[in-house]
A and B are shown apart, each in its own frame.
Chain A
Amino acid sequence: MSTDFFERQATAHRHTGRLVWLFCLAVIGIVAASWLVAFLAVDYVEASNAAHGRPNPPGLAMVPLYVAIASALLILLGTLYKIVELRGGGSVVAEQVGGRLLHHNTSKAAERRLLNVVEEMALASGVPVPPVYLLESEESINAFAAGYSPSDAVIGVTRGTVEKLSREQLQGVIAHEFSHILNGDMRLNIKLIGVLNGILLLGLIGAILFRVAALSGSGSSRKNGGAGLVLLLVALAVFILGYLGTFMGSLIKAAVSRQREFLADSSAVQFTRNPAGLAGALKNIGAKLQGSLVKHPHAAEASHMFFAQGIQVGFTSLLATHPPLKQRILAIDPGWDGKFPTTASSQATATAPATATATPVAATAATAVPAAMGLVGQQQAAAPAQPVADVAGAPGQVGNPTPDHHLYAAQLIRSLPDQLTAAAHEAYGARAVIYSLLLDQDPKIRDRQLQTLDQHSTPDVVKLTRQLIPIVDALDMHTRLPLVDMTLPALRSMSTAQYRTFVSCFQELVAADEQLELFEWILHHILLRHLKPQFERVRPARVVYYGLQRLGEPCSVLFSSLAQVGHTDDQAAIAFAAAKGVLDDVPLQLLDSSDCDLPQLQSALDQLAQVAIKQKERLINAAAACIAADQEVSVREAELLRAISDTLDCHMPPLLPGESIAPVAAAGSAQPVKTS
């Protein structure tokens, strides 16, 4: 299994493609079979009519066609309906299985610990922090990730998981769920469930028709030329085909799901570099009587998204959505003796044997820790340039956060003043945090902005914003975007009316200084991108371009903008050339800064979001090469890179500041080093 994000995404896409075809074949087969059954039934009725000298009713010959069309429509309808429903977002799924949204100011320490683990993990992988739902009445150990994209993803956790696992084990479970989010598994699953639902609907309707036909047929069937009999047979056949189709479909779905689970396990281990945590969680499931089964009636719909087998399956392991527990444990902990801990709950803190070495622990991991610590106390004025090595490796880190990122994220959260984190964690204060981030450095403009805020917002929010100003001003610039990520779950809990007010205030603030600044644009872009799906209907980006050759214009805008940020004109030319070196088959032209303003950059990015995943990899490689061309990376460049990769749905872990992981000299060449 590949360790490269783009490869994994591409695999997920290929899988989806292949499966959708397989399912299409199955649907065509089912429709054809229903036609055939109807045809045979009609044939039989015709023959028996001829034998008894009865005339054939006209229109009889058309019955097979009607049946085929009806079943095709049914499947299509059922599929579309389910897909539309599931696209409602992860929160809908989480609420349907009985989840309760968790808040940061909960009084229960275990719940706060869970929220902290999720937050650290999200910041380390560069995705918006997902809301966390607790399945309160579930004693078992299980968790799931749901949603269509990282923007509307949520994480659901059973109470058993929160209470019975140690922090390390919890981390393993959450990392597993994050890799589902990052690997594009959720999208694949939604399509699969959709088609399965369509086929299931066919079976259901068949069953209903069969009953109706059997009832009406028993009374007066003989006289109408066997129409009742035909209907009865056809309904029976549709019923059988529907259920058979569902069964076969479930087999396919379960097989794919099992494979994705192994992948998620290995990604989780790679992420935390702590096989013991994940293995410990799995062992705890094995030791528990209640195991991982989830009782809620809607659990079956989300069964493939769970951390471990969530529903009881019948006679065969072929239908299991998860690989057998023992196999999973052995895959990450080969030294396991096959025994589950006996007193599992007291075992919570002691974890698996230290011999577990599924992934080679990078020798550099330990040395990077002080680097992450270096973050605290760096002031904005000093806004340090980063060594190139970090950025050069960045494309390889997309979707592949490392323990260093994890440490960095934890450190970063701790470095933020309490007042700020407290505000960011609830909707009321989160708005003030965002407003204060938008304020300009220039006191004149700032005054104007605050006046605008006075007019458009309530006095208490303005007051809170004013209180936050000194704190936000003193922040390290690196922490600005992670801070925005932190506010997202709180902002998502606003009502639609509150969201509208918030967005209009936001836009007024941006407009108040009469010029669109780069950071304002980035903030606007990231915030709306991740908030919109919650409140408005958004079309998910579709792959339209499989190559970059026809996209010379948007690429030119993108790389010209990148080259001009933080570079002088001469350097810009060099930086642009570096990007051009990566994308040698694309007609690129260095544009004047007047020709690539932010609105143009926006539309260029929107267009580039529609390219296939492998091409996105090239774009990000080129972007990294571009900003690294002058051997240093400013915060502005790093933020822009983050915004760009975010638009392309490639979530990039934060660039680690301070001393580099690899010696700078080794990365002297501007060519990005692809780590895989």
Chain B
Amino acid sequence: MNYLWRRFPSLLLTLFLISLVTFVVVQVVPGDPAQIILGTEAPPEALADLRAQLGLDRPLPLQYLSWLTGVLRGDLGVSLRHGRPVATLIAERLPVTLSLAILSLAPAVLLAVPLGILAATHQHSALDYGVLLLAQAGLALPSFWIGILLILLFALSWRWLPSGGYVPWGESPLEALRSLAMPILALGLPVAGVLARLVRASMLEELSRDHIRTARAKGLSETQIIVRHVLRNALIPTATLLGLQLGFLLGGSIVIEQVFALPGVGRLVLFAINNRDLPLIQGLVLFIAALVVTINFLVDMAYTWLDPRISLENKHGS
């Protein structure tokens, strides 16, 4: 609990800085939103009116303050292109992206954990190198390339899965799963790569610990050792990595949603940027970054709670 009290203010400070960075970056964006909305034939008076209406002619610090106070009340602004509150737009699309991100962890875990364990228990063998190589390959391939190959294979050649689009869970869980199958594979493979290596490394570290040697000396079988002693400790960093991968997954969803035509938050980001929808960009970027930071914070907390051996100071890079 002490930890929580100490880290919380820095979380808040980080969030505040994020809002500042977001605002500044977005303001640098050239292009006049009024022009884009009203098109090429609009008269200058209409443009000036719209600009005033949107508050684009006020001094920057004022714009920032009014935006920030709105955010604290839950009002992320109103999208210029959609004419609807940013918060609503995000809420509509969040289920898609969250489903995508969270479910992507499934192939990652299902592939990486067994493979990582195998590699660790057969260190320096062909199997070990094989797993390491596959992990590297998974990391090295651009996820959108994997996605396209998957579409060619599963949608075009074999007709097993739909090539794109999203079916809401409420409508049909089976169809929803089918529409997400390829995206989560494409997104999850790089994560599987990272995870496999981590599982292998933590297992190796655990296996070399004293209490394992003791267990062996006591005559426990290898399997028993692995299951009862090694796995638990080895999987802790794995669990935390999963949480930390969320940032990568949210970023990766931008590209994957594009490839598979999924109406998620990632696509909304691209739309916002391509249309110079400043309020939407601001709200989206802030939301995503804040989400990632908060989740990382929670994961950090869970990590220290799960493994009190970890010193609170030693968390640099990873």
- A complexed with B: no
Q: Interface on B for A, CB 8 Å cutoff?
A: none
